[in-house]
Structure 1
Amino acid sequence: MKHVLQIFLASLLIACNSQDSISGDDYFDDGEYRKAAEAYTSYLATHPDHVKSLYNRGRSYEEIGEIDKAIEDFEKIIEIDPKHVSSYLSLAKISYNNKDFNKVLIYTGSVIDLNENLAQAHFLAGRAEHQLGYLDQALESYNNAISINRDFGEAYLYRGAVKVGKERINSACEDFKFAKSLNVAEADNAIDEYCK
């Protein structure tokens, strides 16, 4: 009888923990990020290496502005799974927002090494290179992003901005107009400033 009770309690604990992970997903989908982070934390107490829950908790922390905790989760994931592309991309975005452009290049470089066909990685690398004043490299990165995803409107917009810096105004205007056709809101301002 004692063994039956132990098995029942263990099963109940596993069911509750699984429910915490599912609840976290539901909260996240509903935009209740603080509750999502709490649910994932509860689940991770007994499953500390569950990558999906760590990643979703990190994203939840990002949404509520607890960036240090988000970084900690993404870095832990990379320790567990050094090929986790989404964690590298998340760290690249955080680094860009923190104006740590050299770190952006490190993280996007890792992504591109793992999968060179991710337009977002090339785009983020281009943004960092652009900020660092490496216009030729930025142009190449934006070109790579566009060659992977022809409908990447922001890549056209920022490629146009690089072309302005290189005094290639006609070509820049083509990019701005194409960005506008892809519904990039900022394209109108660029067209007004450079293409009249």
Structure 2
Amino acid sequence: MKKLFYVLVLGALLGSACSEGETVKGDQFFEQGKYAEAIEAYNEHLKLKPKHVKSIYNRGRAFEELGQYEKALADFNTVIELDPSNANAYMSIGQDFYRKGEYASAVLSYEQALQHSPDNAQALFLKGRALHQQGDFENALSAYNASISTDKSFGQPYMFRGALYLSLNRKKQACSDLNKALSLGVKEAQDPINKYCK
């Protein structure tokens, strides 16, 4: 009886290790840009662990990279059902709204992410970007400022705040932000620098 118990425990451990290997393999495929292969690996892992939140979320991201937005959204919503405090899933849902031009809904999704992760520089930036698209410059500026205050090494909010300053005819502040974004690796800042800051 004792021997049978150890055989069963060993089998469970090996099954778990093989299963974890699939999710690691999925992550590796994702990093290599092999999104279809990543999805297959996540599917294999989810056969054994159907509620593994990280695999469901990462599979959604892989679907998103392949342009399979409905499948991606289904996975992100499943993540929220399983883990209602998952800020990444709310941000990804927000990105889906943003992609469709539904900026008010995107803002609400980013705010939900921020309820669970208030110091999330990425969520603050994304919220600012959606507000910016709505023409709500004052609140967009506040969101960009909050994102920068949270993570001064994150270049995107400098870039977008710079663009906002340009639209408000605040050229000196705009150029300062655009140059900061460029120094932080945001190469897209070079064109507006060439156009407005020379």
Partner residue, 1:52: 54
Given the alignment, which residue of 39, 42, 65 partners 2:41?
A: 39
Greater mean deviation of Cα atoms: 126-135 or 172-181: 172-181
* Cα-Cα RMSD: 2.6
Task: Look up the SS of the partner of 2:187 in the other structure.
Answer: coil
TM-score, with structure 2 as normaliser: 0.85
Question: Does 2:136 correspond to 1:144?
Answer: no
Partner residue, 1:123: 125
Q: CA deviation at 1:193?
A: 2.4
Given the alignment, which residue of 69, 72, 75 partners 1:73?
A: 75
**Which letter does structure 1 place at the counterpart of 2:93?**
L
**Which letter does structure 2 place at the counterpart of 1:47?**
K
Partner residue, 1:157: 159
Give unpaired runs (5+ residues) of structure 1.
none
The list of structure 1 runs, each at least 4 consecutive aligned residues, that deviate by more than 4 angstroms after superposition, is 3-19
- Cα deviation, 1:72-114, whole Å, max 9, x if unaligned, reads 0111010111011111122222322222211210111011111
Task: Tell me, in whole angstroms, the C-alpha distance in 2 between the residues paired with 1:175 and 1:18.
Answer: 43
Greater mean deviation of Cα atoms: 139-148 or 51-60: 51-60
Q: How many pairs are equivalent?
A: 196
Question: Does 2:181 correspond to 1:179?
Answer: yes
Partner residue, 2:88: 86
Question: Does 2:196 correspond to 1:194?
Answer: yes
Partner residue, 2:64: 62
Question: Does 2:25 correspond to 1:23?
Answer: yes
Partner residue, 1:111: 113
Residues 10 and 119 of structure 1: CA distance in aligned 2, closer, same or farther (over 3 Å): closer
Q: CA deviation at 1:5?
A: 9.8
Residues 121 and 8 of structure 1: CA distance in aligned 2, closer, same or farther (over 3 Å): closer
Task: Tell me, in whole angstroms, the C-alpha distance in 2 between the residues paired with 1:135 and 1:158.
Answer: 11
Task: Tell me, in whole angstroms, the C-alpha distance in 2 between the residues paired with 1:70 and 1:120.
Answer: 20
**Which letter does structure 2 place at the counterpart of 1:170?**
K
Q: CA deviation at 1:180?
A: 2.5
**Which letter does structure 2 place at the counterpart of 1:80?**
L
TM-score, with structure 1 as normaliser: 0.86
Residues 14 and 88 of structure 1: CA distance in aligned 2, closer, same or farther (over 3 Å): same
Task: Tell me, in whole angstroms, the C-alpha distance in 2 between the residues paired with 1:4 and 1:119.
Answer: 48
Q: CA deviation at 1:45?
A: 2.8
